[in-house]
């Protein structure tokens, strides 16, 4: 297609007269859902071990091992192989290792072949990984499957938020930016709801349907206008904008704005640019710290303790139902966040999140301290349960979706792929660190001090967000860069 602007060769690119242009948000939301199927796929990968490993443990295996049946073609009812407790933990941890490895290539690919085709290509490792898992005949195949699905998950965490941030107009960038975490929780909920009631191979087959849907969705969705302008394909960018923003949008103004943002950061970005340029350095530092606080909120500790806390409150609810309840709460509250984020702003949602989560962690620590000291806690069994529910609500409103969304909107266009990749690598390093050391922390510090440890970081987080994190609601990329450079 020609790189020239609107003309007789492409009537689609005619813009309405000045003052009569208008934008439609419908297709932006449709595209957001389509791209976020990658997040659903990542969510199924994240949630998979939760219902599968406990469900398939044989009673005679005791506490040292988790039994995992052979592949679906084994019909004799016997387990084909077993996993020790350590092997079971590595089945979970290999996803984080793969995600770390998948982030940087995804950022590179997004800049070389575009956001659309990089997102579409993620379906391949997802499908390969589910095939390895479905036909696994030993721990090694499970390791390989979890590593490959980790690569796809890490890549999804880079490309999807970047793609969504570039197709959304400013007024709904926050709402669409929250889609990644929202659909991640949808994927987790799917596994929590289906996993306990199906075989592990059936669950894996069902999960493999989402990468197929991702391919179909990406066949329809155009390339990011920002990427197209970067490639000098201004007419293609205008056509894409007409698809995303409606036929009555003013593509000339939109393309000029994108070009202006790109001209402000001319040239191909180098790794050194992230640290030598003040705006890039500040954006990267904020994105990294938001990911640090997301993982050191203790979300994994709270999720791990959900079933024991339900029981301590006198609940006889099935653990599978507990997981579904937690999953539903996460989905609903992340949806509420996507509605609020462009009205309330990023900072206030982050502040409530860190303050409330910190308070809940202190309460949980006190509860477990009393329990360990053999105090009678029967009268306050409702308190930790209320704390867990409030914690999950607060996390889902703030530190669940917002770090992913701000990662996509803080960085300048030339460094966005690289910065997003480094941020995602950092996040998954923390996931690996926290999940692998959590058991040791419990043994060394005790449950009470483990919760207080995470509570301390939430106190630090509250101060950091209050003093250092800028409000990006309603601001263009140029305005955000000015804020980061201290030119507000």
Phi-psi bin for 396: left (phi > 0), alpha (psi -120 to 50), beta? alpha
Q: Is 303 helix (H, G, I), strand (E, B) or coil?
A: helix
As a whole number, mean pLDDT of residues 167-192 equals 91
pLDDT tens digits for 32-50?
999 999 999 999 999 888 8
More confident residue, 131 or 1: 131
DSSP one-letter string for 317-355: --HHHHHHHHHHHHHHHHHHHHHHHHHH-HHHHHHHHHH
Nearest CA among 165, 169, 191 for reference residue 178 = 165
In this predicted structure, what is the pLDDT of residue 465?
Answer: 96
Q: How far apart are CA 342 and CA 346, in angstroms?
A: 8
Average pLDDT for 152-167 = 93
Over residues 131-149, mean pLDDT:
90
Tokens of 441: 């922390």
Q: 27 has which bridge partners?
A: none
Distance CA 391, CA 455 (A): 11
At residue 77, the pLDDT reads 35
DSSP symbol at 67: E
Is residue 55 a contact partner of residue 13, using CB atoms and an 8 Å limit?
no
d(C-alpha 235, C-alpha 214), whole Å: 26
> What per-residue confidence (pLDDT) applies to 312?
65
SS3 83: strand
Place of tokens 């003040």: 278
Per residue in 396-448, pLDDT tens? 999 999 999 898 789 887 788 888 889 999 999 998 888 778 878 888 998 89
Residue-wise pLDDT for 380-410, tens only, equals 878 888 898 899 999 999 999 999 989 878 9
Read off the pLDDT of residues 340-353 as tens digits, 9 standing for 90 and up.
998 889 999 999 99
pLDDT digits (tens, 9 = 90+) for 200-254: 889 999 999 999 999 999 999 999 999 999 998 999 999 999 999 988 888 888 8
């Amino acid at each position: 297609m020609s790189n020239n602007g609107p003309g007789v060769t492409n009537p689609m690119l005619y813009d309405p007269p000045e003052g009569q242009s208008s934008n439609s948000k419908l297709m932006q939301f449709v595209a957001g859902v389509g791209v976020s199927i990658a997040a659903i796929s990542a969510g199924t990968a994240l949630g998979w071990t939760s219902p599968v490993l406990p469900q398939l443990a044989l009673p005679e295996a005791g506490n040292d091992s988790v039994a995992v049946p052979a592949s679906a073609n084994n019909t004799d009812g016997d387990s084909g192989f077993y996993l020790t407790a350590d092997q079971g933990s590595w089945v979970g941890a290999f996803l984080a290792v793969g995600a770390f490895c998948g982030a940087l290539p995804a950022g590179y690919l997004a800049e070389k072949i575009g956001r659309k085709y990089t997102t579409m290509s993620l379906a391949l490792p997802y499908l390969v990984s589910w095939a390895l898992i479905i036909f696994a005949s030993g721990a090694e195949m499970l390791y390989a499957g979890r590593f490959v699905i980790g690569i796809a998950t890490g890549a999804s965490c880079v490309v999807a938020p970047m793609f969504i941030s570039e197709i959304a107009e400013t007024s709904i960038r926050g709402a669409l930016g929250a889609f990644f975490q929202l659909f991640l929780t949808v994927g987790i909920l799917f596994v929590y709801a289906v996993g306990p009631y199906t075989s592990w191979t059936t669950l894996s087959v069902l999960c493999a349907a989402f990468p197929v849907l991702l391919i179909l969705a990406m066949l329809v969705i155009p390339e990011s206008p920002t990427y197209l302008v970067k490639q000098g394909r201004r007419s293609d960018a205008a056509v894409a904008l007409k698809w995303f923003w409606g036929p009555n949008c003013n593509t000339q103004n939109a393309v000029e704005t994108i070009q202006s943002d790109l001209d402000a950061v001319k040239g191909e970005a180098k790794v050194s640019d992230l640290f030598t340029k003040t705006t890039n350095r500040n954006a990267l530092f904020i994105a990294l710290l938001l990911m640090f606080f997301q993982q050191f909120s203790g979300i994994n500790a709270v999720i791990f303790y959900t079933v024991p806390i339900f029981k301590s409150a006198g609940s006889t609810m099935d653990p599978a139902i507990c997981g579904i309840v937690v999953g539903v709460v996460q989905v609903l509250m992340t949806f509420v966040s996507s509605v609020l984020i462009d009205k309330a702003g990023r900072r206030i949602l982050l502040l409530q999140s860190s303050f409330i989560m910190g308070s809940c962690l202190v309460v949980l620590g006190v509860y477990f301290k009393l329990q360990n000291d053999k105090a009678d806690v029967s009268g306050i069994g409702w308190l930790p349960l209320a704390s867990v529910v409030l914690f999950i609500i607060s996390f889902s409103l703030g530190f669940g979706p917002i770090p992913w969304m701000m990662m996509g909107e803080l960085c300048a266009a030339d460094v966005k792929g690289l910065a997003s990749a480094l941020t995602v690598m950092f996040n998954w390093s923390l996931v690996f660190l926290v999940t692998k050391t959590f058991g040791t922390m419990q043994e060394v510090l005790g449950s009470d001090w483990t919760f207080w440890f995470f509570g301390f970081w939430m106190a630090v987080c509250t101060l950091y967000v209050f003093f250092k994190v800028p409000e990006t609601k309603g601001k263009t990329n140029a305005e955000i860069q000015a804020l980061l450079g201290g030119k507000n």
